[in-house]
Each structure stands twice: as structure tokens, then as C-alpha cells.
């Protein structure tokens, strides 16, 4: 909340506290702009129109300019101005809602609840656009975009990043013997196990069918192979109970790593992981193999 009046700060702040809402209250537009420009800003802002340093209209414009590339912030303008032209001015600046002072507690709470529903819906749509519906992992487009970002970062900073392509062994047998519904359940459980032991900044997505793509920033090939085998064991360690009996899926994994070579591309990286994965299949499945130029190694 941004409000220069100490009386209104106490009044509205008391409402927010009584409603159990986490909030921050500042007294100037400049302070608010600094908070809202942070990497993880509040998702809703209650803005007074008249503020020292930067008024609510200019602050609202800044919020909308920043939101093009970041988090959407739902804004409610709180002001004694109540002309129709004032309402239009606020909406043109990017305000989502408008509430005249003095603020009525019930009306303010209703506006906040509406804003929260809109933000929740937006978050659901954003999640659906970037995640696989069945497994909840990043979808193919999103994991490939993440790989491109990590590939570029690796080149800039000179830090390696490991890419792992994983495929469920004999998955067709599970579908044929237990049905596709059971196969979907196995896919979901394997996906859950794949991300169980990942670091917060590691990424995993459904690459297609029963294939998964993992990105481990800051790992060299040796560490990548070790991590691949730890994840592989975690996936196969415990049988998966289904309505038609237990399934004991294993995965074959191909491991590659970013290179500083000028002719090295994301497509090359994926191809190397793919070659290594198929070598794991050929050499008996339920194993991880690495690809590193002419040097290749395996672990089962």
C-alpha cells in the first residue's frame, strides 16, 4: 500500500492485518517504485493518487511499463478524486480498479478479493501455458527455451551446464499390458521422482512421449554422470503400485555438456545427449552414458 497520510495508513493497514494479508506500507511513490521494481514484487498495489516524489498516476504507468517483461501487478487507485474524468485518467494510466476515499472496509475487501481471483486465474493460465498437462513438468517449448537461456549463460560466464536426455525403458510394454491410463500414472510418478532430488535452479521438462530433458547448471561431465545415476536409481528404486499390479520402470539416460567451442549449438548438445541415450539403450538399458567428443563412458 502506498499512502502519504499517516491516519489512512493506520486505518487501511489495520484492515489488511485483520484480514490476514501480508502487506508493506510506504509513504511515497519513490519508495513504492523501488519495492515494485524488485525481482519478486508484491502482486497487488493499493495506490494513493496524491503522493510526494511521484504521484499514483505516474507510479501506475511505471508499474505497467515494468510488467511487460515481469510480474503483473494488480493496482487499485484509492483517492478522494471522484470525477468521471479522474476515473478515466486512472484507467488509462493502467489502474485495474478505482475506489473513492474515505475507504469503506467492506468495499475495499470486495475489491481485493476480485483482484486476487484475477491474479489466481492469470497464474493458472501462465502455468498451463508453460507446463505439461499430464506430468506438471515444463512442457517441450518451455524446457527448450530454458536450455537456450542456459546455453547462452554458459557461453557468457564460461561455466558448464549438463544436459540429460532420459527415456523410460520398454514403456510400450506398460501401456500394452496395463493400459494407457496406467501408463499415464507411471509417467506422472516417474516425473515426480525425476525432480525429487534436483536443486532449486535445476530444470526438468517433458521432452516428448516418455522422454524427459534435464538441465543441471554449473555441472561438468563427471558430476553430470554422477547426478544422472543418482536420479536413475531414485526413479527405479521403488515399484509403482497401480490398479493392475506393480510397474517397475527404469530409465536410460544420455549426458552431454555445454562447450566453449564457437561451432557448438543447442542442436549439437541435444544430438549428443540423444546419441548417448541410445547407446545406453543398446548397452542394456537402465544406465547412463556420457558423450564428450571422442571420449565416451558409461555407468550401470
- Give the residue among 36, 38, 37, 57 at the shortest CA–CA distance from 47: 57
Q: Which three cell numbers stand for residue 13?
A: 493497514
Distance CA 205, CA 147 (A): 10
Beta-strand relationship, 203-208 and 295-299: unpaired
- Catalytic residue (one of 150, 189, 210, 289): 210
**Residues contacting residue 47 through CB under 8 Å, at least 6 positions apart:** 2, 32, 56, 59, 60, 75, 76, 77, 78, 95
Could you give the residue ranges of the DSSP H alpha helices within 105-243? 105-130, 140-157, 171-178, 180-194, 221-236
Distances in whole angstroms, Cα of residue 212 to Cα of each of 218, 219, 222, 266? 20, 18, 20, 16
The number of C-alpha atoms within 13 Å of 189 and in the hemisphere containing its C-beta is: 20
Q: How many residues does the chain have?
A: 300
Distance CA 157, CA 150 (A): 10
Distances in whole angstroms, Cα of residue 242 to Cα of each of 42, 179, 212, 247? 42, 11, 22, 7
Spell out where the chain has E strands.
44-48, 74-79, 97-100, 161-168, 203-208, 211-217, 240-242, 245-247, 251-257, 288-292, 295-299
210 is catalytic: yes
Distance CA 46, CA 181 (A): 47
Beta partners for residue 295, in sequence order: 292
Catalytic residues: 210
Amino acid at each position: 500500500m502506498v499512502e502519504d497520510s499517516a491516519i489512512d495508513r493506520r486505518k487501511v493497514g489495520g484492515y489488511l492485518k485483520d484480514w490476514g494479508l501480508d502487506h508493506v506500507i510506504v509513504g511515497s511513490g519513490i519508495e513504492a517504485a523501488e519495492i515494485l521494481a524488485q525481482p519478486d514484487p508484491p502482486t497487488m498495489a493499493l495506490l494513493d493518487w496524491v503522493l510526494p516524489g511521484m504521484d499514483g498516476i505516474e507510479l501506475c504507468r511505471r508499474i505497467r511499463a515494468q510488467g511487460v517483461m515481469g510480474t503483473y501487478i494488480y493496482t487499485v487507485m484509492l483517492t478522494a478524486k471522484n470525477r468521471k474524468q479522474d476515473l478515466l485518467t486512472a484507467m488509462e494510466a493502467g489502474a485495474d480498479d478505482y475506489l473513492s476515499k474515505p475507504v469503506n472496509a467492506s468495499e475495499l475487501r470486495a475489491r481485493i478479493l476480485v483482484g486476487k481471483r484475477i491474479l489466481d486465474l492469470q497464474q493458472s493460465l501462465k502455468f498451463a501455458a508453460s507446463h505439461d498437462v499430464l506430468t506438471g513438468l515444463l512442457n517441450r517449448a518451455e524446457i527448450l527455451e530454458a536450455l537456450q537461456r542456459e546455453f547462452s549463460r554458459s557461453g557468457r560466464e564460461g561455466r558448464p551446464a549438463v544436459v540429460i536426455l532420459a527415456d523410460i525403458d520398454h514403456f510400450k510394454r506398460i501401456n500394452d499390458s496395463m493400459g494407457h491410463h496406467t501408463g499415464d500414472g507411471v509417467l506422472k510418478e516417474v516425473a515426480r521422482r525425476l525432480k525429487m532430488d534436483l536443486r532449486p535452479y535445476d530444470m526438468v521438462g517433458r521432452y516428448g512421449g516418455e522422454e524427459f530433458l534435464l538441465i543441471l547448471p554449473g555441472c561438468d561431465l563427471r558430476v553430470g554422470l554422477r547426478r544422472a545415476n543418482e536420479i536413475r536409481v531414485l526413479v527405479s528404486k521403488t515399484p509403482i503400485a497401480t490398479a493392475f499390479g506393480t510397474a517397475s520402470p527404469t530409465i536410460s539416460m544420455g549426458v552431454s555438456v555445454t562447450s566453449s567451442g564457437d561451432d557448438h549449438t543447442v542442436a549439437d548438445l541435444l544430438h549428443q545427449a540423444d546419441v548417448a541415450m541410445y547407446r545406453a539403450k543398446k548397452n542394456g538399458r537402465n544406465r547412463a552414458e556420457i558423450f564428450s567428443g571422442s571420449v565416451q563412458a558409461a555407468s550401470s
